[in-house]
Amino acid sequence: MAWVTRAVVETLYGWAADPLAVDSGRFELTFTDALVFIVAFRFGDTAIEAETVMGFPARSDTDYYRLTLRLMEI
């Protein structure tokens, strides 16, 4: 789980809307230790969960959300 801004959440939802196909829906996930994985959003589960940190609806792109991403390695 992480905290991110509403703008980041909206970007992630846009990426998750891209269907998994031969030439789309795949992303490179790179960790700080240089490990690299090709991943896609897990659509069998809820791929993205985002809820406001403060517990009431966000009004600004800079408001924070708690974020959970569910990915699968391709």
pLDDT averaged over 10-residue windows placed end to end, the chain, 74 residues: 89 90 90 96 90 83 92 94
The per-residue b/e assignment along 49-67, b for 16 or more CB within 10 angstroms, e otherwise, is ebeeeeeeebeeeebbbeb
State residue 20's pLDDT score. Answer: 85
Q: Where are the domains of the chain?
A: 2-73
State residue 18's pLDDT score. Answer: 86
Write out the two tokens for 19: 């269907």
State residue 58's pLDDT score. Answer: 73
State residue 5's pLDDT score. Answer: 94
7's enclosing H/E stretch is helix 6-16
